[in-house]
């Protein structure tokens, strides 16, 4: 058995204290996202884990890129017929999770997902490079396929079909807006006594902040 008992890091880069945090979790999120963006050691600062609940009640997590965020929520794009799409149709709750190791920070967001409007999905779809647009049509995301050739052949077909034509966004591809009701900011600290501040959305639509033990 591989023993990893002695693998550990001391977290001491920063701190998260009540009198410095923003009232709005979205402002906090923006600060931390900007820090990650400006950190050359963060390879993909918009990459997040998105967990949904499968039909067997087990969570499933995959990496997705965050594409927009505002006071309304966090938006990502995907295939509505994928495993995640099927899970979301029966349980629209999801957990979004960012971990930026060099920042010694994680953010955990519990949210309810809603599909973005067709107009919003169009806006992003048509902003993507043509190759990515074709990819969305070629790949029946999460379905079993006979082999790599299937994708190559479909790509050739679709390229021929849309030669010199605008590629239409398929109706099964679009965005989800994750509307958060709980957002935790975690900052690593020495002796495993990390900072954890959680914003809970109140019935009035404000945010209540609480500190959790690490």
Ligand X SMILES: Cc1cc2nc3c(=O)[nH]c(=O)nc-3n(C[C@H](O)[C@H](O)[C@H](O)COP(=O)(O)O)c2cc1C
The answer to the question of whether 77 is labelled as a binding residue is: yes
Task: Establish whether 192 is a catalytic residue.
Answer: yes
Per the annotation, does 4 bind a ligand?
A: no
Binding map of ligand X across residues 99-138, x = CB under 6 A, - = no contact:
----------------------------------------
* 182 in Cβ contact with 198 (< 8 Å): yes
Residue from 13, 30, 37, 60 touching ligand X (CB under 6 A): that is: 60
Burial (0-12, 13-18, 19+ Cβ within 10 Å), 21: middle
User: Which entry of 192, 201, 208, 211 is annotated as an active-site residue?
Assistant: 192
65 binds ligand X (CB under 6 A): yes
Q: Rounded distance, CA 22 to CA 129, Å?
A: 37
Taking contact as CB under 6 A, which single stretch among the options 17-25, 75-83, 108-116, 119-127 is the one that binds ligand X? 75-83
Residue 155, marked binder: no
Q: Is 84 in the site for ligand X (CB under 6 A)?
A: yes
Name the residue among 95, 90, 97, 85 with its Cα closest to residue 56: 90
Site track for ligand X across 191-210, x = CB under 6 A: --------------------
- Residue 56 phi/psi, 5-degree rounding, is -90, 15
Residue ranges in 39-91 assigned as alpha helix (H): 83-90
Q: Residue 89 CB, nearest distance to ligand X (Å)?
A: 12
Contacts for 149 with CB less than 8 Å, ≥ 6 apart: none
The residue to which tokens 């679009």 are assigned:
174
Q: According to CB under 6 A, which one of 17, 31, 63, 212 is a site residue for ligand X?
A: 63
Task: Report how far residue 173's alpha carbon sits from residue 77's, in angstroms, rounded to the nearest whole number.
Answer: 7
Binding residues for ligand X (CB under 6 A) = 44, 47, 60, 62-65, 76-79, 82-84, 141-142
């Amino acid at each position: 058995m591989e023993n990893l008992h002695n693998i550990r890091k001391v977290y001491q880069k920063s701190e998260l204290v009540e009198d410095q945090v923003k009232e709005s979790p979205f402002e906090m999120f923006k600060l931390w996202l900007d820090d990650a963006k400006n950190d050359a050691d963060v390879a993909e600062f918009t990459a997040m884990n998105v967990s949904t609940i499968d039909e067997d009640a087990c969570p499933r997590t995959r990496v997705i890129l965050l594409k927009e965020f505002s006071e309304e929520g966090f938006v990502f794009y995907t295939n509505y017929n994928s495993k995640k799409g099927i899970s979301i149709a029966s349980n629209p709750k999801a957990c979004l999770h960012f971990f930026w190791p060099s920042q010694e920070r994680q953010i955990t967001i519990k949210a309810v997902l809603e599909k973005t409007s067709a107009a919003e999905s169009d806006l992003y779809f048509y902003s993507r490079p043509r190759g990515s647009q074709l990819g969305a049509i070629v790949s029946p995301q999460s379905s079993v396929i006979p082999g790599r050739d299937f994708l190559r052949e479909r790509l050739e077909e679709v390229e021929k079909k849309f030669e010199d034509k605008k590629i239409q966004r398929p109706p099964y591809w679009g965005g989800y807006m994750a509307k958060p009701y709980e957002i935790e900011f975690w900052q690593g600290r020495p002796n495993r006594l990390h900072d954890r501040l959680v914003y809970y959305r109140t019935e009035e639509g404000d945010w209540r902040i609480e500190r959790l033990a690490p």
